[in-house]
A and B are shown apart, each in its own frame.
Chain A
């Protein structure tokens, strides 16, 4: 099933889009990612991931309004699709299952 799996960074981006709801466009996603992860998120990388997610059908996009901060260019807003939602849920499920397999004691001893 190569191509529909989520990479770690893809998952993060997808989650951010979901979290930002109607304000999810590239720059805002970068900022939010930086805020949440503490790592610097490069626009080029995020842009490539967004493009890939759209190709896989996990997100869809539409052009929004133009603002002066963008030199009169419109923003492209992303929103999550049903496929995206199920991919996220599946990823969460995998993790939850794995977490549940770890007995409480064994982690504390490490």
Chain B
């Protein structure tokens, strides 16, 4: 038990008090606080007494108690700056190896920091070009069906909400309502250009600061069939001719008038489009009221410009009240509304159905966390090495102190030194930044679109500031250490400096760094194995020698006929979607016997060639026979999971033939059963129940199977020639099926690249840290080793003696990190991914063995050097 005498006020609070308090007031104030503290310990207990003490210390921070800054010290520091720089330079040159280790280690990690700063600078400049960006909010939605609230909200909303914002929310100044799906092939005279855009209402240009070059922003999108083009789109369509007022045909259907030309969308806008169409057009062209339904929250985006100084909490309450009023409009459906600042869209909450690419909060935090770990790790290295080196510098510090330097001067000197080193590291880091930039951007398709990482003066400013912060961070601990050195003791006997007082901390550090390295490299290997596994995954059908061509609205029959003239084409089929590339198309199916038994099944419209072309395994029944376009749907082919789900014919394929089910309220007969295959993606766990429906005119893709050993590049050129004849407007979109499968795992590939990069980084930093420590330890034990050698120790024994403690640390690091990695993948990550492969010993141990080998090499090289040294040389110098 703690005796009352031993209970002390918190040390840091005491220190803080004596730091800020005027010396003449200090003593009796300390006394008073102590008296109260001991009184409180008796009456209220130790922990409360401590808390009160801390609060009192903070309360006493007043004008009359605070010590005046000592300007003379600042002045001296300023005068001495030149001297600090000079001695720092000398010390850096004198210890070339240590300086190199420090600079390389810092620069490697700082490169990551620079990338991070670049990313942040880009992300946080998004949407700031809107004049009123601090008052623009997006109204987001969340869908609830019965009791199931969707986990993720939606960036999109309904047309109804957009209208309500304008009409019944007085705090809203203007509302911009956008709707997806405008665009297509724009035709003017002989020119046809495919463009993509959005429907927008007339407040578009009031809310957002997109600049119109021609046309009136207030009325440009008011009338139906109005179109606003961006500068680039206008150039494509009209060349240098004047576009305003011209009329264009869209999709060979309706005529639209160009009512405005706007400047191209700034790079850092979260929404991108080629053109805008007036949303009032939809009032005329709409076929039904479906898009005005309360729960149709999937393709409209609502942005509001709030009045200045609006109470956003009250606004949220009104949104809630308004949404609850509509709860019963659609049975069983509730929609929740919320607002999101426009500047939050890129890095805010992860929402479904975004209008454009976003970065996402989670990704950003992962990036920041990893950067933080790497930076800390490198800064620790610096701290560690500098303190370890202190033996050589302590005499210098002693002399300085005796001449009259006070603590703050010594701290100043060492912080200046570390800032110099960190600025030198910045130069290398910047080189690395330039080198790594293209790799980072090519990591994933979205990144290149989202980020530029362009170097601007402001960014350089951030970089320098960052280097200084890192310098201060890394240098502060060693500076403090040196500042505390007792000058008299040091000058009498250098060895009295207890360098290794905090040896445990250093060991923990090395273990920590190696843990990180092992975790990264093992993760990389495990992910890589998964990636290879998915690419080689047996999908249940073949993808070899198949090329998928998007029809893009062209007629299939003449195209097929022409393509079939190519000698290398074996067969051509049609389908609605490309299976196993991450596309889903669902529909509701009901059991014929029990109408209440209905379930979502995934479907694909195909023609009679699809199944044989892809080598599907038909377990029972037959393929679709060829039918004319006009045929009524009466037959379907199902997979085994469908039989299981509806328990058709006791799940026996051959018995299921001829059974009927209800699809879109029509009775259809099962004519074939195929074995289960991968519909969505190889790593998808749902979408097991799949049906095939016959529908030539529903097809969006042609699947072309080539003879084996076809040269794809040559064939592609031939195909393009044929495509041009049928569709001069659009480029041919044709891809090898195997490439498409691979693209589906781009995210995984990016993670692997990232993990590889991080592993390289971490290994580099931890190896440098270890090297520094080993060099230092062996050098300080040079005399001991020599004496041992003279007394008869063998070289092998000496190497073992010096290296033993490090090897133990590495073993500990392995023992910690391997199970952590294993459990993380086995219990958390891989469980969420379908059809993954098990972790094998190779992935677990290959990385570790590599790292340990490298470390052994580092330790061995240094210890060997020392063990081989001639003891006579070493001892003679003493």
Q: Residue on B with the closest CB to A28? A: B35
Contact of B28 with A26 in the complex, beta carbons under 8 Å: yes
Contact of A71 with B31 in the complex, beta carbons under 8 Å: yes
What sequence of 0s and 1s flags, for each residue 54-78 of chain A, a beta carbon within 8 Å of any chain B beta carbon?
A: 0000000001001001110111100
With contacts A44-B59, A48-B62, A48-B64 taken as known, whether A69 is within 8 angstroms of B27 at the C-beta atoms is: no
CB distance from A74 to the nearest CB of B (A): 6
What sequence of 0s and 1s flags, for each residue 17-30 of chain B, a beta carbon within 8 Å of any chain A beta carbon?
A: 00000000101111
The distance in angstroms between the C-alpha atoms of A74 and B32, with both chains bound, is: 9
Contacts of B27 in A (CB 8 A): 63, 73-74, 76
Contact of B32 among A43, A48, A51, A63 (CB under 8 A): A43
Contacts of A25 in B (CB 8 A): 28
CB distance from B8 to the nearest CB of A (A): 8
Contact of A47 with B35 in the complex, beta carbons under 8 Å: no
A41 within 8 A of B: no
Contact of A51 with B31 in the complex, beta carbons under 8 Å: no
Contact of B35 with A44 in the complex, beta carbons under 8 Å: no
Interface residues of B, dominant DSSP: helix
**Which of B28, B38, B60 has most A Cβ within 10 Å?**
B28
In A34-53, the 8 Å CB interface with B consists of 43-44, 47-48, 51
B715 within 8 A of A: no
A6 within 8 A of B: no
Q: Residue on A with the closest CB to B59? A: A44
A27 within 8 A of B: yes
The distance in angstroms between the C-alpha atoms of A51 and B62, with both chains bound, is: 12
Q: Residue on A with the closest CB to B63? A: A48
The distance in angstroms between the C-alpha atoms of A75 and B29, with both chains bound, is: 9
Chain B's interface size range is 10 to 19
Contacts of A71 in B (CB 8 A): 9, 30-31, 34, 38
Contact of A70 with B64 in the complex, beta carbons under 8 Å: no
Contact of B56 with A44 in the complex, beta carbons under 8 Å: yes
Contact of B29 with A70 in the complex, beta carbons under 8 Å: no
Q: Residue on A with the closest CB to B64? A: A51
Q: Residue on A with the closest CB to B62? A: A48
The distance in angstroms between the C-alpha atoms of A25 and B28, with both chains bound, is: 9
Contact of A47 with B29 in the complex, beta carbons under 8 Å: yes
Contact of A27 among B25, B36, B59 (CB under 8 A): B36
The distance in angstroms between the C-alpha atoms of A71 and B498, with both chains bound, is: 30
Contact of A27 with B32 in the complex, beta carbons under 8 Å: yes
Q: Residue on A with the closest CB to B61? A: A44
Contacts of A75 in B (CB 8 A): 28, 31
Contact of A69 with B32 in the complex, beta carbons under 8 Å: no
In B1-47, the 8 Å CB interface with A consists of 9, 25, 27-36, 38
The distance in angstroms between the C-alpha atoms of A48 and B60, with both chains bound, is: 9
In A84-110, the 8 Å CB interface with B consists of none
The distance in angstroms between the C-alpha atoms of A73 and B36, with both chains bound, is: 13
The distance in angstroms between the C-alpha atoms of A69 and B41, with both chains bound, is: 12
**Which of B33, B35, B36 has most A Cβ within 10 Å?**
B35
Contact of B38 among A26, A69, A76 (CB under 8 A): A69
Contact of B30 with A73 in the complex, beta carbons under 8 Å: yes
The distance in angstroms between the C-alpha atoms of A53 and B29, with both chains bound, is: 16
The distance in angstroms between the C-alpha atoms of A25 and B56, with both chains bound, is: 18
The distance in angstroms between the C-alpha atoms of A69 and B31, with both chains bound, is: 8
CB distance from B428 to the nearest CB of A (A): 51
Contact of B60 with A70 in the complex, beta carbons under 8 Å: no
Contact of B62 with A27 in the complex, beta carbons under 8 Å: no
Contacts of B31 in A (CB 8 A): 66, 70-71, 73-76
Contact of B35 with A69 in the complex, beta carbons under 8 Å: yes
The distance in angstroms between the C-alpha atoms of A109 and B28, with both chains bound, is: 50
Contact of B56 with A70 in the complex, beta carbons under 8 Å: no
Contacts of A69 in B (CB 8 A): 34-35, 38
Q: Residue on A with the closest CB to B60? A: A44
Contacts of A70 in B (CB 8 A): 30-32, 34-35
CB distance from B230 to the nearest CB of A (A): 64
The distance in angstroms between the C-alpha atoms of A57 and B65, with both chains bound, is: 18
With contacts A48-B62, A48-B64, A51-B64 taken as known, whether A43 is within 8 angstroms of B36 at the C-beta atoms is: yes
Contacts of A76 in B (CB 8 A): 27-28, 31
Contacts of A74 in B (CB 8 A): 27-28, 31
Q: Residue on A with the closest CB to B55? A: A44
Contact of B56 among A26, A43, A66 (CB under 8 A): A43
The distance in angstroms between the C-alpha atoms of A51 and B60, with both chains bound, is: 12
19 A-B residue pairs with Cβ-Cβ distance under 8 Å, sorted by A, are A25-B28, A27-B32, A43-B32, A43-B56, A44-B59, A47-B29, A47-B32, A48-B62, A70-B30, A70-B34, A71-B34, A71-B38, A73-B27, A73-B31, A74-B27, A74-B28, A75-B28, A75-B31, A76-B27
Interface residues of B (CB under 8 A from A): 9, 25, 27-36, 38, 56, 59-60, 62, 64
